[in-house]
Chain A
Amino acid sequence: MMTIRTLTIPAILALGASFLNGQLLDPKKLLQQPTDTWPTYNGDYSGRRYSTLKQINSGNVHGLSLAWTQRYGSGTGISIKSTPLLVNGVLYFTSPNHVWAADAHNGRELWHYQYRANTGSTIGNRGVGIYGNWLFFEAPDSHLVSLDARTGKERWSVEIADPKLDYTSTVAPVIIGNHVILGIGGDHIDNPGFVQSRDPETGALQWKWNTTPRAGEPGIESWPDEYASAHGTGQAWIPGSYDPELNLYYVGTGNPNPVMAEQSRKGDNLYTCSIVAINPDTGKMVWYYQVSPHEVHDWDASVPIILIDGQIDGKPRKLLAQASRNGYYFLLDRTNGQHIVTAPFMDTLNWTKGLNAKGQPIPDPAKFPSPDGSLVSPASGGATNWPAQTFSPDTGLLYVGTNRSFSMYYVTDTDDHPQGWGGLDTTAGTDGSALLALDYKTGKAAWKHEWPSGGGPSHMLSTAGNLLFTSNASNFIAFDPKNGKILWHAGLTGPMTAGPISYILEGKQYLTACVGDMLYTFTINEPNK
C-alpha cells in the first residue's frame, strides 16, 4: 500500500490553490486510492489499477449485471482506447479528435467536443488529465488542448511538436502538482522523443526532457554520434507512474530508430527502451534502467510501470515492477533504480545471450533482423503491450496478458544510413496466449490461464473484493485473483479497448468497460421490491 507522508512544496501550493477555489477535482483525490473518483489514467499514481472497493466481491459477483450501455460514435470507426476518468459523477473519455463527458449514472452524453480537422495520426488516444476544472488531452496534430470540464469549451491549444513530423499524439497527460506531464508517440521517421511538462493555466512549457541525449550529455557515448541519438526516437507514448514521497515520475520509453535496421546506431542507445525516473519539478532524470539495450525488434518499454511497497528478504522496499514487451519481468528499487529481479515470463523467447551483471538481457546479434529473415519470439507486437496490467496488494500478484508469438524479422534497408523502420516483421504464428499471475518478488507465474482463443495483452483491473477483471475477444470476465478460477462473465461486442475502472456512486459500486465506441457499466442490480 502506498502511503502519503510528504509532499513537495510546489505540489502543496498547487493543491491549496485548486482546493480553495472549490473546483471539480479536489487535488487530494490524486493522492488517495480511487473510490468515488478515478481521477488519473491509472486510478492513482501507483499504476496498480487496484480498487479498494469490495461491495462487488467474489461472493456476489454472480449477480453482476448491466446497469447501462451507450454508444458514442456509431458508424464512425471510433475506438475508445482511453481509460475514462470519473469525477463528481461524470465520466470523461476520448478517441482521437474527440472528448466526451457522460453522466456516470446512465451514460447520457453531457457534452461532446470535436477537434478541428487535421491530418494527424488517429491510431489512438489514451484519455484526458484533469486539474481543477480543466481537462487536457493530446490532439492528433501534436497539440495539447485544454477544455473546461464543465462545458467542453476549449480554453486553449498549444503545439507540443512539429505537426508535420508524423508523431502520434496518444498520451493521457498526468497531472502532478501544477505540472501537466505528457509524452508523444510515433517511430515512423526517426523523430526526436521527449517528455514535457506544461503549465495547466497557460500551456506554456515548463521543461522538456529528451528521451535521447545530445552532445555533451551523459549517455551520448551509447550512440555513434549526436545525429544518430537525436533521431533515435524512444517515444514515451503511454502515461507513467509517480511516487509523491520520492517526488519521482517513472515513465517507460520506446524503441530506438531506425527501428529494425540497427547498422547506423551501434551502442546501447540510451535512454530508449528504458524505465526513467524524472523529477517532475525540474525535468531532470534522477536514474534510469534500460530493459532492452540496443533494441531491434520494436519492443518498447512504454508499457505499464507498477509501484509496489513490498518486502524483499524480509525488509520493506519501495519497488517498481514492469512486465515488459520484450518478454522479461523486471523488479527495481524505485528509490535509485537498483536492479533486483529479471525473469522471463514466456518460454518461447529466443533473442538473448543471457543476462548481464545488471540483469539486462544481452541481445544476440544473430537474432537481429536480416535481409533473408530471422525467426524471433515475440513478434514486434511483443510478449505484452500497452494494455492495462494490474497488481493486487492482497495477493501480491501482478497480472499481465501475454502472447507467445513468433515473427520473421527482415531488414529492408541495408543502406549505411537507413531511415524509418528500415525493416519489417511478418508473423510466423503464435504458440498461444495466456493471462499470467506473476509473483512480484520473483516474476514467476503463481498461476496462468491459457485462452482457448482471443486474450493476449488484455486490459485488467483488480479489486479488494477478491476479483480480477479482464476480457477475451467478446466477454467481460471476473477471475478469482488467487487461483485463476473464472467466477463470472458477460458478453461484449468485442475485447475491451481500454482499462476498466471501478467507482462508487451514491453508495453503490460500478464497473465501466470500454469496447470500441461503446461503454458498458455493470453493477449488482437489486430486484424491485
Chain B
Amino acid sequence: MALPFYIYAQLPSTPGTKATVEASPAAIAGSKENPEAVARGSALFKDKCGSCHGMTAKGTNKAPDLVRSLLVLDDEKGLLIAPVIRNGHKNMPSFGLTEPQIADIVAWMHAQTYAADHRNTYLFLDALTGDPKKGEAYFNGAGGCNKCHSAAGDLKGIGAKFDAHTLQGRWLQPRSGRGATSKSPVTALITLPDGKKVEGVLERYDDFTVSVRDAAGEYHSYNRNNGVPKVEVKDPVRIHTDMLRKYTDSDIHNVTAYLASLK
C-alpha cells in the first residue's frame, strides 16, 4: 500500500520560498489585530526575519515554521513571542527592535496563524486561465449554451459584473451556486387521481405533501401517499446540473474566459 500511484515530485529544498499567502483583510479583521500594526509587522518581519523563517513565516532550512509553532499558537498578546524576539533564541540574534516594533511583528504573526486556521478568509486565485476563443466555440457548439443564452442579449456585459471566480460559480450553477436566482422559478405539474391537472410555481415538495402557487396567485396544497398524486417538476435551469456530468475542466475554464471577455 505504500507504493506510490504516480511519480511524486521531490520536496523543494527551501520551503516557503514561493510565498503566496498573506493574511487577507478578512483574516486580519478576524484576528482582531490592528491592520496598520499588521502591515508594519509584515514589512518588519520580511526585513528582519524572512530570510530565515520565510517571507510568510512558514519556515526554511535555516529556521522553523512559525505559523504552526506551538509557542505562536499558544501566545496571547505577545507574552510568549515577545521575549524570544527581544532576547534572541538559540542561533537567532536579538535584533534590537523597539517594543512597538516587536508588538507589530506579534500582530502580524497572529494574523498569519488566524489566516491559515480560517478557510472562510481565504482568497481565491486567478480563475481566468481559459481560452476565450475556445470558450466561445464551446458556447455556440458542443456546450449548447446558445440555445438559451446570447452574448449580445442576456449575457451582455456580464464580464464586467463579476470577478472570474464568482462568474464561474454563477454560470456553472445559477440556482444553488454562488448567488441563487429566482428569475427562473421551479414549477410543477400535479396530476390528481381524478385526472385534473394543477400547475404552478413549486412551493413545497416532499414524499408527503406538494404545494404550488398557480398563475393567478392561488395556493394549492395536497397530501401525497406513495407517489400519488403524480408530480412533474420542471426546472428551467436543470440543464446546468445535467451538464455537470459532461463538462471537462478545460470546457469550464474556457467558457469562463469567454464570458469574462463580454465586458
Contacts and interface: CB of A to CB of B under 8 A. Distances in A.
B124 A410 contact: yes
Contact of A416 (B16, B240, B256): B16
B59 A417 contact: yes
Contacts of A227: 65
Nearest to B249: A374
B54 interface: yes
A271 B197 CA distance: 57
Contacts of A485: 226
A491 to B, nearest CB: 9
Contacts of A270: 1-2
A267 B125 contact: no
A477 interface: yes
A496 interface: no
A205 B126 CA distance: 48
Given A418-B21, A419-B58, A372 B128 contact: yes
A373 B249 contact: yes
Contacts of A358: 1
Interface in B167-183: 168-169, 172-173, 175-178
B241 A451 contact: no
Contacts of B249: 366, 370, 372-375
B155 interface: no
Interface string B101-127: 000000000000101111100111111
Given A372-B128, A428-B169, A420 B116 contact: yes
Contacts of B18: 414-416
A414 B20 contact: yes
A430 B241 contact: yes
B73 A164 contact: yes
B2 A268 contact: yes
Given A164-B74, A418-B21, A420-B119, A268 B1 contact: yes
B60 to A, nearest CB: 9
Interface string A369-409: 01111110100000000000000000000000000001010
Contacts of A427: 173, 176-177
A464 to B, nearest CB: 24
Contacts, number: 194
Interface residues of A, number: 75
B244 A428 contact: yes
B172 A294 contact: no
B114 to A, nearest CB: 10
Interface stretch (B88-96, B132-140, B142-150, B202-210): B202-210
Nearest to A489: B208
Contacts of B117: 166, 188-189, 420
Given A371-B129, A416-B15, A219 B68 contact: no
Contact of A475 (B178, B208, B253): B208
A446 interface: no
Interface stretch (B4-12, B43-51, B214-222): B4-12
A494 B125 CA distance: 37
Interface string A277-291: 000000000001010
A93 interface: no
Interface in B45-93: 54, 56, 58-59, 65, 67-68, 70, 73-74
B252 interface: yes
Contacts of A293: 1, 5
**Chain B interface extent, by class:** 35 or more
Interface in B216-246: 226, 231, 233, 240-241, 244-245
A1 interface: no
B74 A412 contact: no
Contact of A452 (B4, B125, B207): B207
A222 interface: yes
Interface string A132-159: 0000000000000000000000000000
A415 B58 contact: yes
B207 A219 contact: no
B157 to A, nearest CB: 23
A350 B244 CA distance: 11
A225 interface: yes
B118 A188 contact: yes
Contacts of B8: 224, 266-267
B17 interface: yes
A59 interface: no
A418 B122 CA distance: 12
Nearest to B252: A375
Contacts of A356: 5
B247 A375 contact: yes
Nearest to A271: B1
A426 B177 contact: yes
Contact of A360 (B1, B58, B67, B231): B1
Nearest to A472: B206
Given A293-B5, A375-B249, A420-B119, A428 B173 contact: yes
Given A270-B1, A377-B244, A424-B124, 6 more contacts: A165-B73, A228-B11, A360-B1, A370-B249, A417-B58, A426-B165
Interface of A: 162, 164-166, 188-190, 219, 221-222, 224-225, 227-228, 231, 263-264, 266-268, 270, 288, 290, 293-294, 348, 350, 356, 358, 360, 362-363, 365-366, 370-375, 377, 406, 408, 410-421, 423-424, 426-431, 451-454, 472-475, 477, 485-486, 489
21 contacts: A189-B68, A221-B2, A290-B1, A294-B5, A350-B245, A358-B1, A366-B249, A372-B125, A373-B165, A410-B125, A412-B123, A414-B125, A417-B59, A419-B116, A420-B119, A423-B122, A426-B169, A428-B173, A429-B176, A431-B244, A489-B207
Interface of B: 1-2, 4-6, 8-9, 11-12, 14-21, 54, 56, 58-59, 65, 67-68, 70, 73-74, 113, 115-119, 122-130, 165, 168-169, 172-173, 175-178, 205-208, 226, 231, 233, 240-241, 244-245, 247, 249, 252-253, 256
